[in-house]
Structure 1
Amino acid sequence: MTIDTKDMLNSILQSLSRIDYVKPQDIPNIDLYMDQVTTFMESQLGSTRRYNEDKILTKTMINNYAKNNLLPPPVKKKYSKEHVLVLIFIYYFKNILSIRDIETLLKPLTEKYFHNGKDFDITSVYEEVCSLEKSRIDQLAKDIAKMYSTASDTFQDAPEEDREALQLFSFICSLAFDVYVKKLLMEKLIDQLPDPEGKK
């Protein structure tokens, strides 16, 4: 594959090691109005945007999440720290799962741990999950590098002028297959959970 592709991959793999999560202590301890929530999310998650004009979260999105039972309703139009943590979960899930699947996944958590007044709460769940994900980054980088190496060995019999483009296509297909299989697995696991509306 082209040297540019290799440089780009190396740059991405190096950036993986710098991936971090929004720490609960970085979230204001006071309840926030909608504008303050969207501003906070933009400042914390802006680096995950593909294009500069992309919005992390809009007022409409947040209202829809509350309306669709993904997010507990605000209190007097204000959102707590725990609201923000649930919104971060939604932000990461929304590119992979349907709204209904996200509701099925999050509703048991919000019903049991959201503002429960106990030591083990939504913040505890969030920190544990983020710690697990952070511990997987090195292995993830190795897996991606191995996929790239394997894809670089494909299409050896293709016309030389097309080989690099086909190898890049092969690498993208490998990444897509990985995402596809994991998405199928996630959906199967979610299908085993109780339906929040009791329809299953």
Structure 2
Amino acid sequence: MTINTDQLLESILDSLDRIDYVKSEDIPDIQLYMDQVTTFMDSHLASTRRYPSDKILTKTMINNYAKNHLLPPPEKKKYSREHMLLMLFIYYFKSFLSITDIQTLMEPLTGKYFQKEDGYNLESIYNEVMELEKSQVDVLKDTVRRLYSTSQNSFSDASEEEQDFLRQFSFICMLSFDVYLKKQMIERLIDQLPAPDFLKKK
């Protein structure tokens, strides 16, 4: 079967233009019960699902976040706007970082900025980081185009039938190598952070 990688690439790049994040002003400024939290996340992060059956956030996940010190415990079974912001950070990190790395990364964030009223707080940090990330979409698109172009010039001596798969495979490998290297850098940076006290006791 011939894979039309040109069309696939354009579809992927078009999807990057539609990437958006949950805006802090869209988060209700009232405390929410767990069912309300999962409903909100399912609604606002639906576009990030790979398959319709994928779970965005479940009650078990939320309980595990609190149990593993990723999230401060709720107040009277209700979650604040700040809890929601932390859950959004966790949602993005969990796809490529270990629980221990997320714990190390989140501990100073919650320790210094959770329920802080003056200066930087969780909402201002979230807003600034998300704006910085959105500004990188065009840079990312240029990188993807360059890697795709390189992959399409690979395996020039293979048969036409073989080239179709091998070039797509090389494109996937180059994208994967980029992810692998960035993950290595992220882990090195996290290793420079002090381990949370609850991890030191283990």
TM-score (normalised: structure 1): 0.96
Give the length in aligned residue pairs: 199
Percent identical residues: 62
CA distance in 2, matches of 1:69, 1:40: 22
Aligned twin of 1:191: 191
User: What is the 5 A alignment of 1:25-40?
Assistant: 25-40=25-40
1:20 Cα deviation after fit: 1.1
User: What is the 5 A alignment of 1:1-200?
Assistant: 4-197=4-197, 199=200
1:4 Cα deviation after fit: 2.1
Is 2:96–2:183's contact at 8 Å kept on the other side of the alignment? yes
CA distance in 1, matches of 2:25, 2:13: 27
Q: Which amino acid aligns with 1:114?
A: F
Q: Which amino acid aligns with 1:146?
A: R
CA distance in 1, matches of 2:3, 2:173: 20
1:54 Cα deviation after fit: 0.5
Q: Which amino acid aligns with 2:162?
A: D
CA distance in 2, matches of 1:173, 1:27: 38
Structure 1: stretches of 5+ with no match in the other structure: none
1:109 Cα deviation after fit: 0.7
CA distance in 1, matches of 2:72, 2:118: 18
For the aligned residue pairs, the C-alpha RMSD in angstroms reads 1.3
CA distance in 1, matches of 2:122, 2:105: 14
1:72 Cα deviation after fit: 0.8
Q: Return 146-155 or 112-121, whichever deviates more.
A: 112-121
Is 2:3–2:164's contact at 8 Å kept on the other side of the alignment? no
Task: Write out the 4+ residue segments of structure 1 that deviate beyond 6 Å after TM superposition.
Answer: none
1:3 Cα deviation after fit: 6.3
